[in-house]
């Protein structure tokens, strides 16, 4: 088992919000991740469901655990919550911190194929293989491997949906706040995909939820998408949830799109509706 180093531990709503670091073989650097252990994890006889939360552009593992207020709902439902960082850190690739929407803090939860990014920018494999397996082994006495969900925000919403569609059955439940739903068709996605993957649009489609859902052939799945109608990135056509909804409906994949009047892209919005998302996941993971 990989060695974990405890960075911090804080009691909240009867459980413990912890942050650990470990050396990632996929990314070639030290990585932090957060894990919330609800009160039910203390001496409980049964393993608990787990939700992975993927954060958005410019974020670390800290934003969600300090701003969303999710711990109240995780404690209520008895759900462990894991939050990885958003990109490799400290690998020192030329240009990796030149812009806020590419490179550091902008890994897009894919496996890069274009140099110089291909060796380290492997967030897809990091999330869905390395970290997934690390949580199962390091917290194996607490985690139920058959009850795992995933959610995310913005770039992380993209990551959550794509991770679910690319790995049928790995995640039983999935939801997203303001996800980048069709990155092949928006400025953020075009910049990231051309930088990490090159110009082959067939490769882009392998990391685009709107394209992936058209060929999804896994266990039954319902997508929950939450979108603030006052979100400037929604208005500027960076997120394109309607494209994903249309694709889902064309192939009969159930999808819920909640359009929230006047809400923006921030954690004020996420904290308002995070309880609803935990209710959604709990119904599926605890059924």
The domain that holds 174 is classified in CATH as 3.40.50.1820
SS (H, E, C) 180-225: CCCHHHCHHHHHHHHHHHCCCHHHHHCCCHHHHHHHCCCCCCCEEE
Q: Is position 184 annotated as part of the catalytic site?
A: no
Q: Is position 154 annotated as part of the catalytic site?
A: yes
Exactly one of 154, 163, 173, 175 is catalytic; which is it?
A: 154
Band the pLDDT of 46: cuts 50, 70, 90: confident
Distance between CA atoms of 248 and 242, rounded to whole angstroms? 10
The string of pLDDT tens digits covering residues 167-206 is 999 999 999 999 999 999 999 999 999 999 999 999 999 9
> How large is the average pLDDT for residues 38-67?
95
> How large is the average pLDDT for residues 33-56?
94
Exactly one of 173, 231, 277, 281 is catalytic; which is it?
A: 231
- The predicted model scores a pTM of 0.98
Exactly one of 22, 265, 277, 281 is catalytic; which is it?
A: 265
User: Which residues span the domain enclosing 73?
Assistant: 5-285
> How large is the average pLDDT for residues 202-213?
98
Distance between CA atoms of 186 and 188, rounded to whole angstroms? 6
The string of pLDDT tens digits covering residues 96-106 is 999 999 999 99
Q: Express as a percent the part of the chain with pLDDT over 70.
A: 99
Paired tokens of 23: 């050396």
Domain count, the chain: 1
> How large is the average pLDDT for residues 223-243?
98
């Amino acid at each position: 088992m990989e060695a974990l180093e405890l960075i911090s531990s804080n009691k909240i709503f009867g459980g413990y919000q912890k942050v650990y670091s470990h050396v990632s073989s996929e990314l070639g650097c030290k990585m932090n991740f957060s894990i919330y252990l609800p009160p039910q994890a203390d001496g409980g006889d049964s393993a608990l469901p787990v939700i992975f939360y993927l954060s958005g552009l410019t974020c670390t593992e800290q934003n969600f655990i300090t701003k969303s207020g999710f711990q109240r709902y995780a404690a209520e439902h008895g759900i462990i919550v894991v939050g990885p960082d958003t990109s490799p850190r400290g690998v020192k690739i030329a240009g990796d911190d030149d812009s806020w929407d590419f490179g550091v803090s902008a890994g897009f939860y894919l496996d890069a194929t274009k140099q110089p990014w291909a060796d380290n920018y492997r967030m897809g494999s990091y999330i869905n293989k390395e970290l997934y397996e690390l949580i199962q082994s390091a917290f194996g006495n607490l985690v139920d491997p058959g009850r795992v969900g995933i959610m995310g925000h913005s770039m992380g919403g993209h990551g959550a949906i794509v991770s679910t569609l690319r790995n049928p059955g790995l995640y039983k439940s999935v939801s997203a706040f303001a996800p980048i739903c069709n990155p092949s068709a928006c400025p953020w996605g075009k910049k990231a995909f051309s930088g990490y993957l090159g110009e082959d649009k067939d490769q882009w489609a392998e990391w685009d939820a709107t394209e992936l859902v058209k060929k999804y052939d896994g266990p039954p799945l319902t997508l929950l998408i939450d979108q603030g109608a006052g979100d400037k990135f929604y208005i500027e056509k960076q997120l394109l949830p309607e494209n994903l909804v249309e694709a889902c409906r064309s192939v009969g994949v159930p999808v819920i799109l909640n359009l929230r009047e006047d809400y923006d892209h921030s954690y004020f919005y996420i904290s308002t509706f995070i309880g609803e998302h935990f209710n959604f996941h709990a119904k599926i993971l605890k059924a």
